[in-house]
Amino acid sequence: MLPEKKGTTNKSVVAEPSIMRGKQETKTGKLTSLFYKDGTWAVIFLLPHLILFLAFMLIPVIASFVLSFTSWDMISQIEWVGFGNYIELFNDEVFIEVFWNTIYFTAVSVPVGIFISLILAVALNQKIRGIKFYRVAYFLPVISSMVAVAIIWQWIYNPEYGFLNFMLGIVGIDGPNWLSSQTWSMPAVILTSIWKGLGFNMLIFLAGLQGIPDSYYEAAELDGASTWAKFRFITVPLLAPTTFFITIMSVINSFQVFDTVYLMTGGGPGRSTSVLVHYLYQNGFEYFRMGYASAMAYVLFFLVLIITLIQFWRQKKNSLY
């Protein structure tokens, strides 16, 4: 620290010999030299990302916020409507239905998905033969294309030729017409979506589990703790940061769900599986209501923001560490 400061001072003295001296000047000198030393290169290396970030992220994000206060069909003149889009949103029956569908989707898929992936992670953290094979098998859906997954699951759900109803038939249950029933289409989509995301959550949990030192379990065993007690009082609390991370990610992802719905049901039957992003897409690109779609995007954004902030606040409050 000290030699660097000296060097800088010296340089500035050389550069501007007489007129200015003192703290102010030293500071600028330091900044310029820093720029010439490392900053230039840093900027050059960051430039490709920065340009893309600006062009495809920041500018569109701001533009769509502005658009959310307009009525625009992408062709005609942009018309200001103030909060008109937002007011209309909350009077739009379809939007409200779609909104609750999204909440339904999230409220079921997040907890169930986390619970199952935690159980799986614990199971796959054991020393079993061929453990790597199982881990790969459960991770495979994550890297599969959603289009392929949707086709396979549509077949599984087929009421007459499908695998699921065949299995249900064996145990004597007359399975419903999964994807064409208002009642069952959403659970069906949720199931597929959980299955698809299971591997990712499991992998993160697995990493978290492996970070828990064995010594805790050994100590607990010496004290005569049961398997359940070890899980409840060692695994769960020590996994809390991981669980927190997974919860946030899952919530955000399920609020943004689109591909599963779009590919499997197209939002139907009726509007029963239509979710926010799906309705947004329809408004933007099928009904030519870009302003309305932008307003929807911002409602979604603030919804996710608020939920995430609440989670952070709760985590802070409850955190043991």
Dist CA 289 CA 111 (whole Å): 34
From the list 1, 75, 170, 320, which residue makes contact with other proteins (rule: CB under 8 A)? 75
Q: How far, in whole angstroms, is CA 120 from its chain's centroid?
A: 21
Q: Nearest-CA neighbor of 200 among 231, 241, 246?
A: 246
Q: Which is nearer to other proteins, 160 or 214 (CB)?
A: 160
Is there binding between residue 159 and other proteins (CB under 8 A)?
yes
From the list 20, 46, 54, 55, which residue makes contact with other proteins (rule: CB under 8 A)? 55
From the list 89, 114, 179, 190, which residue makes contact with other proteins (rule: CB under 8 A)? 179
Q: Cβ distance 210 to 196 under 8 Å?
A: no
Instruction: Report how far apart, in Å, the C-alpha atoms of 198 and of each of 25, 261, 289 are.
Output: 58, 17, 36
Q: Which stretch binds other proteins (CB under 8 A): 33-41, 134-142, 211-219, 298-306?
A: 298-306
Q: Which is nearer to other proteins, 74 or 137 (CB)?
A: 74
Dist CA 144 CA 248 (whole Å): 23
Is there binding between residue 32 and other proteins (CB under 8 A)?
no
Q: Cβ distance 109 to 191 under 8 Å?
A: no
User: 71 forms bridges with which residues in the sheet?
Assistant: 79
Dist CA 189 CA 202 (whole Å): 20
Helix axes 84-91, 93-123, angle to 10 degrees: 80
From the list 164, 194, 261, 300, which residue makes contact with other proteins (rule: CB under 8 A)? 300
Is there binding between residue 252 and other proteins (CB under 8 A)?
yes
Q: Nearest-CA neighbor of 275 among 287, 260, 295?
A: 260
Q: Cβ distance 73 to 290 under 8 Å?
A: yes
Least distance to other proteins from the beta carbon of 141, Å? 19
Q: Which is nearer to other proteins, 12 or 193 (CB)?
A: 193
Footprint on residues 139-158 left by other proteins (CB under 8 A): 151, 154-155, 157-158
From the list 33, 116, 241, 259, which residue makes contact with other proteins (rule: CB under 8 A)? 241
Is there binding between residue 205 and other proteins (CB under 8 A)?
no
Q: Which stretch binds other proteins (CB under 8 A): 1-9, 60-68, 128-136, 140-148?
A: 60-68
Dist CA 22 CA 20 (whole Å): 7
In the complex, which residues of this chain contact other proteins (CB under 8 A)? 55-57, 59-61, 63-64, 73-76, 93, 151, 154-155, 157-162, 177, 179-183, 241, 244-245, 248-249, 252, 255-256, 258, 268-272, 277, 280-282, 284-288, 290, 293-294, 297-298, 300-301, 304-305, 308, 312
